[in-house]
Structure 1
Amino acid sequence: MKILLIEDEEELSKIVARGLLKCGYAVDSAYDGEEALDYYEINEYDVIVLDLNIPKIEGLEVLKRIRQKDKKAKILILSARSAIDDKVKGLDMGANDYLTKPFDFLELEARIRNLSRMAYIQQENELYCGGVYLNMSTKVVSFQSIKLNLTKKEYSILEYMMLKKGQVISTKQLIDHVWDSEADLYPDTLKYHIHSIKKKLVDVNCNQNLIRNIRGIGYKITEGEE
């Protein structure tokens, strides 16, 4: 999944971004309101983490502009403003969640997971498809109790596909949600990762054709025959 991190404190931004990258997320970092809106205009994000005290265009105005265009965006305010009035105002203006600084990274990541489940109408941390279980909390993927040894990027691809189970996902959509915007990919990078995931599924005797190539479009993960 892809996150837009809007935080003007550069050191804090780098620390949070590193933590999210270690958890398997793709992260774009913006340091002011103008840059944040520029990123938002050209990319699609699963979750937006927004500081309020940012230069050029302040956080609540950024929130307002995004909400005017997109009612479904998942926005988490991460701010030093801890007064109840600030929280109420942020939530009333359209934020989905509000976390105050200082904060624990584990709580931030848990809240991001929660928002991602809301975005895809998921009720549990564990996703399931054709005998494959994916736990969004532990980042563990297994088939019939056998753990799959996936790389972080392979996990991110499979997680996004399982969140979109039954839907055809374009190649561009997968790349946009799994890689950073600045990533310089080789033409066959995604195909290589998909092939590796399929091979690892076969290695644990998951012989169902779970991940299907949709010629000229992209991929689809689904249970059973269609």
Structure 2
Amino acid sequence: MNNAQDYRVLYVEDELEIRTRYSLYLKRFFKDVYEADDGVKAYEIYKQKRPDILVIDINIPNLNGIELLRKIRKNDHNTKAIMLTAHSDKNSLLESMDLRLTKYLIKPVSRETLKSALDSATAELIKFNIFSKKILSLKDSYHWDNDSKELFCNNLPIALTKNEKELFHLLCLKPNSTVSYENITYELWPEDINDKYSAIKTLVKGLRKKLPEDTLENIRSTGYKLKTV
């Protein structure tokens, strides 16, 4: 499991024997392994420790696995998640489809199967971390610094509002790919506001005035795409 020692895992399982056995296994690979036996405790640990990977059993008390991950996903779409369930539940699988799972595993889960899922999660993290550190080059001597969240033209900073920065950063995480309206509203306005689509349109209109022409492309009825050089 390459570079696993750089990452932290939160393992949520209410059965003590299983949790103890697999926590010991996880500690062989990862920097830190946090444990919780219910969804409420898990959410508190998540907020305090900010793990990189979540391994969650669906059938945990107080806040089930899907409810827990849905709560986390309101503001966090980058932490990797592996969901475990004791049986093939089509309804649970459908419910979890929009939660950006790395893997959905049916219990009992062998160590080899879990390791394969964790390998996928760490590979996604490595790819994301390498990409997120890059400077993105745009047209006409513009570039975006992913670390500082700053836009430059000829190495001179261009002032952006807070929401303009957040939207542009989100688009820069997936250059030349469409970022959906739903993803944008999740990230910028986790709370309910009236007419989010008009709010996005207004924000994009302001951003376009500060960018080279045709940098932001509207994908009809879907979202927006950032075009890089």
Indicate yes or no: 2:18 matched with 1:12: yes
Distance 1:25 1:87 in 2: 30
- Among candidates 70, 88, 113, match of residue 64 of structure 1: 70
CA distance change for structure 1 residues 80 and 25 in 2, over 3 Å: closer, same or farther? farther
Q: Partner of 1:27 in structure 2? A: 33
Contact 1:63 1:95 survives alignment (8 Å):
no
- Residue 97 of structure 1 and its aligned partner are, at CA, apart by 1.6
Higher relative contact order, structure no. (Cα contacts within 8 Å, ≥ 6 residues apart): 1
CA distance change for structure 1 residues 116 and 163 in 2, over 3 Å: closer, same or farther? farther
- Among candidates 81, 87, 91, match of residue 81 of structure 1: 87
- Among candidates 107, 110, 114, match of residue 108 of structure 1: 114
Q: So what's the TM-score if we normalise by structure 2?
A: 0.51
Distance 1:10 1:94 in 2: 27
Q: Partner of 1:53 in structure 2? A: 59
Distance 1:163 1:24 in 2: 22
- Residue 117 of structure 1 and its aligned partner are, at CA, apart by 1.1
CA distance change for structure 1 residues 105 and 25 in 2, over 3 Å: closer, same or farther? farther
Contact 1:120 1:164 survives alignment (8 Å):
no
Distance 1:63 1:164 in 2: 23
SS of residue matched to 1:66: helix
What is the root-mean-square deviation of aligned Cα atoms in Å? 2.5
Letter in 2 for 1:52: I
Letter in 1 for 2:22: V
Letter in 1 for 2:82: L
Report runs of 4+ in structure 1 exceeding 3 Å deviation.
162-166
- Among candidates 45, 63, 66, match of residue 39 of structure 1: 45
Structure 2, unpaired ranges of 5+ = 1-6, 135-229
- Residue 90 of structure 1 and its aligned partner are, at CA, apart by 1.6
CA distance change for structure 1 residues 165 and 109 in 2, over 3 Å: closer, same or farther? farther
Distance 1:32 1:83 in 2: 20
Cα-to-partner distance string for 1:80-118 (whole Å, 9 max, x where unaligned): 131233223222333232011011111101211111111
- Residue 8 of structure 1 and its aligned partner are, at CA, apart by 0.5
Contact 2:12 2:36 survives alignment (8 Å):
yes
Letter in 2 for 1:58: N
SS of residue matched to 1:48: strand
Distance 1:72 1:105 in 2: 25
Cα-to-partner distance string for 1:158-214 (whole Å, 9 max, x where unaligned): xx9x99999xxxxxxxxxxxxxxxxxxxxxxxxxxxxxxxxxxxxxxxxxxxxxxxx
- Among candidates 95, 99, 109, match of residue 93 of structure 1: 99
CA distance change for structure 1 residues 24 and 60 in 2, over 3 Å: closer, same or farther? closer
Letter in 2 for 1:6: V
SS of residue matched to 2:127: coil
SS of residue matched to 1:27: strand
Distance 1:61 1:41 in 2: 15
Contact 2:102 2:117 survives alignment (8 Å):
no
Larger Rg: 2
SS of residue matched to 1:8: coil
Letter in 1 for 2:111: F
Cα-to-partner distance string for 1:5-39 (whole Å, 9 max, x where unaligned): 01111110001101111234421000001100000
Q: So what's the TM-score if we normalise by structure 1?
A: 0.52
